[in-house]
């Protein structure tokens, strides 16, 4: 992981723009994500918590759902913005979902509280994603 945004500060700003839409009454941790595809389209998502915690959706998976709904399947980078002191990486479930579409995408993590930004390839954060081998 490196300090800095690998040239994706504009994507961080897109995610930051929707951070206030996050619904986090239980954890109090607000997260937003912005995914950019190879075609240059940007898809946004925020975390949406639920009193039945297992039904909570992370910002990253929310953005992936928007991307797929929009007809895209080729993300090249994701920016994850949080209001925590340190930037937070995607959880394990989100790493697996992201790897489904591009296991080598750039992951930029930014804290609005501290201003710190870190970036890494998803393959560094999640070196062995589950892969289903198709038969036939």
Q: Encoding tokens for residue 70?
A: 């929009």
Instruction: Choose the catalytic residue: 3, 13, 49, 60.
Output: 60
Q: How far is CA 34 from CA 44, 51, 95, in A?
A: 5, 25, 15
60 among known catalytic residues: yes
β-sheet bridge partners, residue 77 = 36, 106
User: What is the C-alpha to C-alpha distance for residues 122 and 107, in angstroms, rounded to an integer?
Assistant: 6
Q: Which residues are catalytic?
A: 60
């Amino acid at each position: 992981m490196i300090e800095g945004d690998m040239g994706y500060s504009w994507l961080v700003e897109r995610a930051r723009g929707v951070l206030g839409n996050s619904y986090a009454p239980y954890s109090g941790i607000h997260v937003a994500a912005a995914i950019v595809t190879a075609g240059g389209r940007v898809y946004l998502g925020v975390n949406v918590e639920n009193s039945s915690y297992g039904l909570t959706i992370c910002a990253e998976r929310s953005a992936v759902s928007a991307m797929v709904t929009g007809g895209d399947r080729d993300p090249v980078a994701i920016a994850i913005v949080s209001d925590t002191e340190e930037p937070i990486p995607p959880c394990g479930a989100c790493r697996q979902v992201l790897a489904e579409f591009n296991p080598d995408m750039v992951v930029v993590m930014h804290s609005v509280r501290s201003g710190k930004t870190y970036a890494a390839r998803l393959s560094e954060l999640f070196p062995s994603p589950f892969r289903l081998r198709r038969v036939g």
